[in-house]
């Protein structure tokens, strides 16, 4: 029902630094496909154009353009694959993550996707995109350093296996991390592990520390969380939280919490990091104007609208989103807030990079403005997006000239 805009910062960095290295030119020369004059031209090529875009973190909807590039056609065309790769991937991941946040009903979510993401770059982008969409932390330390995201993690099963006893492993971990220890319970038997965690937690209490949480990583999370919670509460450890991880997505989170599973925190990885149920979307990069002449495609099922555009957002009296209208860039539509903003001109950014906290707040504000019916996990309604009269007239004129 909606998308979360993401990936723009990487696109702007790419465009600002667009150039061919000597090694790249040598490779192109070795193919014997290109003339020396053309290779000389590429050697001096820089992006000189402008970019208008929907800022990262904002919501947008089907058929709306999240980015518009205006430049000499060779510069704009060279950027096509990178633009689609970054905007499409990161938008998918941020949108998937936002659905998990909605399903989690205020519980803490941590990105655990790095090991199953499809490459290191995708793992970094998942960490950033999920944080924009409301996750609280990431297990990817490089992403935490690069983007300013709080790092988080727990012990590994292999850590426990290195010790002759599970209790010994818990004690060693508590000694290393006395104020942020999370014990992994399921290496051998989850319930037995819970009782051993209680014993070590009591030792921690005596030393002036508190166990932060216990982690469930397999089995029936609903019944296990209830049993583990009962054990913890019965031992006076009501402050110890329960973390679940392993194969979770928004559907599983929703099922568990609807059933009342006493889980406080979730580690969400594989199914969100690859957006398992919807790993791709149809994003296209289409020429809409050339030499000030509006153009469009008429291919079956791939019709594009001509001309430079703007997306206008309308809210009702309560401040909730009510409708979007896709119009022409220079069109004036009273009451609508334009979403596409100038972010690059003359090949340079028009302003400083926004802090990730600002992008995260932008998402939170937009998400509050979206009616809950559009956040439904299954078969949500389509958000109303209309075409302006001016854009409709232009499309009709261009279609007539083509035919």
User: What is the C-alpha to C-alpha distance for residues 217 and 231, in angstroms, rounded to an integer?
Assistant: 18
User: What is the C-alpha to C-alpha distance for residues 157 and 327, in angstroms, rounded to an integer?
Assistant: 55
**pLDDT for the residue 301:** 83
User: What is the C-alpha to C-alpha distance for residues 111 and 147, in angstroms, rounded to an integer?
Assistant: 14
**pLDDT for the residue 375:** 98
Beta bridge partners of 53: 67, 341
Burial environment of residue 127 by CB neighbours within 10 A (0 to 12, 13 to 18, 19 or more): buried
Give the DSSP letter of residue 244.
E
Six token digits for residue 154: 């727990």
Q: Give me the residues of the chain with pLDDT under 70, please.
A: none
Q: Enumerate the H helices of 79-216 as residue ranges.
A: 80-104, 120-132, 141-147, 157-161, 166-176, 190-206
2-22: per-residue pLDDT in tens? 999 999 999 999 999 999 999
59-80: per-residue pLDDT in tens? 999 999 999 999 999 999 999 9
Nearest to 70 by CA among 93, 46, 86, 50: 50
H/E stretch holding 289 = strand 289-290
Nearest to 194 by CA among 205, 186, 202: 186
Residue 51's SS3 state is strand
**pLDDT for the residue 212:** 98
**pLDDT for the residue 51:** 98
Nearest to 242 by CA among 199, 194, 189, 202: 194
* ∠ CA 46-47-50, rounded to 5°: 160
**pLDDT for the residue 403:** 75
**pLDDT for the residue 306:** 97
Query: Pairing state of beta strands 309-315 and 337-338?
Result: antiparallel
**pLDDT for the residue 203:** 98
User: What is the C-alpha to C-alpha distance for residues 260 and 394, in angstroms, rounded to an integer?
Assistant: 54
């Amino acid at each position: 029902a909606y998308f979360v805009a993401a990936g723009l910062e990487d696109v702007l960095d790419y465009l600002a630094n667009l150039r061919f290295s000597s090694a790249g030119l040598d490779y192109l020369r070795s193919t014997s496909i290109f003339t020396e004059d053309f290779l000389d031209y590429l050697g001096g090529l820089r992006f000189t154009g402008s970019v208008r875009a929907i800022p990262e973190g904002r919501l947008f909807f089907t058929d709306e353009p999240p980015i518009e590039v205006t430049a000499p056609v060779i510069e704009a065309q060279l950027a096509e694959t990178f633009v689609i790769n970054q905007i499409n991937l990161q938008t998918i991941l941020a949108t998937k993550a936002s659905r998990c946040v909605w399903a989690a009903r205020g519980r803490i979510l941590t990105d655990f996707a790095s090991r199953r993401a499809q490459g290191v770059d995708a793992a970094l982008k998942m960490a950033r995109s999920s944080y924009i969409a409301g996750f609280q932390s990431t297990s990817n330390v490089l992403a935490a350093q690069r983007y300013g995201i709080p790092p988080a993690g727990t012990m590994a099963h292999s850590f426990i296996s290195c010790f002759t006893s599970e209790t010994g492993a818990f004690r060693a971990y508590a000694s290393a991390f006395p104020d942020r220890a999370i014990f992994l319970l399921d290496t051998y038997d989850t319930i037995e592990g819970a009782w051993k965690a209680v014993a070590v937690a009591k030792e921690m209490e005596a030393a002036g520390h508190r166990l932060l949480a216990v982690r469930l990583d397999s089995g029936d999370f609903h019944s296990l969380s209830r049993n583990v919670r009962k054990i913890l509460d019965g031992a006076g450890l009501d402050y110890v939280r329960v973390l679940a991880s392993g194969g979770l997505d928004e559907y599983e989170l929703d099922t568990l919490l609807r059933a009342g599973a006493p889980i406080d925190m979730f580690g969400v990885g594989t199914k969100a990091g690859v957006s398992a149920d919807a790993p791709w979307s149809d994003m296209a990069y289409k020429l809409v104007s050339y030499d000030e002449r509006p153009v469009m495609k008429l291919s079956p099922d791939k019709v594009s609208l001509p001309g430079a555009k703007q997306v206008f957002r309308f809210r009702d009296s309560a401040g909730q989103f009510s409708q979007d209208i896709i119009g022409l860039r220079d069109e004036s539509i009273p009451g609508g807030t334009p979403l596409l903003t100038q972010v690059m001109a003359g090949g340079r950014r028009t302003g400083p990079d926004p802090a990730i906290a600002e992008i995260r707040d932008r998402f939170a504000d937009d998400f509050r403005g979206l009616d809950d019916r559009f956040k439904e996990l299954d078969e949500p309604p389509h958000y109303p997006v209309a075409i302006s009269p001016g854009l409709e007239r232009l499309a009709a004129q261009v279609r007539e000239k083509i035919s």
